[in-house]
Structure 1
Amino acid sequence: MTRSARRTGGCRPTLRMAGAGAAALLALTACSDSDSDAGSDPGKGGELSGEVTVFAAASLTESFEKLGAQFEKDHPGTKVTFSFGGSDALAASITGGAPADVFASASPTTMEIVTDAGAAAGTPETFVRNRLEIATLPGNPDGIASLKDLTDPDLKVVLCDETVPCGSAAQKALDAGALKLTPVSYEEDVKSALTKVVLKEADAAVVYKTDVRAAGGTVEGVDFPESADAINDYPITLLEEAPNAAAAEAFVELVRSAAGQKVLTEAGFLKP
């Protein structure tokens, strides 16, 4: 919602009887122009300012940092500050009173924590989707070719905690394949799970395709068909108690714009 500044001094054209016709027209025109300016969109013409605090799922890190830099360039005088992490932990922080302007979650389920608490301004909208992939060491030395291969007890596999969207999605994929596996650890977010592979503390992790791409040559990705049963929708919302609502709304608009969608799809996200 765009908040316009309240006018404290209205236009009061004082008309005298002499020459009232022309004077009235000029005075009323000036008043109309003033009203129009007062109601203009603060997101236009570089009028936005101040800090925008965005809580976002860890898998959005690289894409949102790019969009944040673009936002600051488009609106001099603004600063976008991010808090990335597991969507469940971020939602808990918001409902616990942490000051934030925008929340972008990796699943509708974790977004519901915020909406059910009345902390969202309006109805959250899905802006991208994401699909799982297996991250292995470069060159895939263990020859992992399927989700079933991860059930090999000799492999060290890492999953996200089931309370986190990537963990919940991984469990859906395992259920779809009627598979069970016991990971060596459950991680608090997708970046932590991926890091275990990068540091060679695990042979494989079930993460998002976008995170494999963002990791470059430090890991290798393996697609698996069960991931089609576990695609996550990512909703975004302006928060009810947003300290900088006008700038926050503009950031949400950037994310959903053609330019924002280009950044996200280039990172491997799917269109909603």
Structure 2
Amino acid sequence: MAKSIAPSYQQSLQSHLADHAGIALGILEAGTYRGKTYPHILPKGRQDLNLLEPPRAALQAYLKAHPRVRLHKYFHHLNSSQAFVFNLFFPFFSSGPAPARALSRALGVDQDVTSDWEFEHIADLDEGTNADVMWRTSEARVFCEVKLSETGFGTTKNDLKHQLKLQNIYRPRLTSIVSQDFLNETTFFRNYQLLRNISLLSSNEEDQLVFLLPFANRSLHKPLQTILSGVRPLFRRRIKVAYIEECLNSLETNGRLTDELRSYASKLKDKYVVSVYSASATV
């Protein structure tokens, strides 16, 4: 008898989102990716449905007013991490100080959030690292990197262009932050995205960094923890690891939020949390 293989988190999320497309959105037409159809992908021209109601219209107006924030190529995929970022952050950060702080607290940064926040933030235009979200507290900036269904963090080529960036930008910034073993070319380029994110902490000793990911997406845990284990304690305290499941539970049960925002957190859970993987834990 053949041994059954449990579906991966990525497969389970895609199946869950396919159900969301049909049940919550009434979309029965599958979208295409590289010539094949997938039910968790929206048809062309329906990408707006990847933004949840009721804040959809306000979020669309925000994006129109901020043309610098460009939709990713695969934004019409229901497992788009960019769409998740917009759906999570905009309603809370645009609803006033209390909801903004509630979300920040749920992500491990219990400080007031100023009105100075933005998507796709680039702290240094010459260097180019892009934070999915940046918000300011009274003391400093918080950079947030978000993953959803990705199986890993970004790598890059070990070529002359990136060797020069390592030599001229990243080694000087990261020497006091991470283990020197991480700054050899092979290891650095294999962990390029994570180490670039961590390098954002070099310019201000109060800045913080948040990694937000599903606890259920186990493929992300090992590479993240491997790199974090090599971050010097003074800087490691400024890096938070938050889990989507716990964040949404915190918002859904936060009695200081309005009924509308708690209900909206439930909608986020319904869309993005796969029930079989819903158990949470803290690392």
Bigger fraction of residues in strand = 1
Q: Give the structure-2-normalised TM-score.
A: 0.28
Higher Rg of the two aligned structures: 1
Relative contact order higher in (CA < 8 Å, ≥ 6 apart)? 1
Q: Give the structure-1-normalised TM-score.
A: 0.28
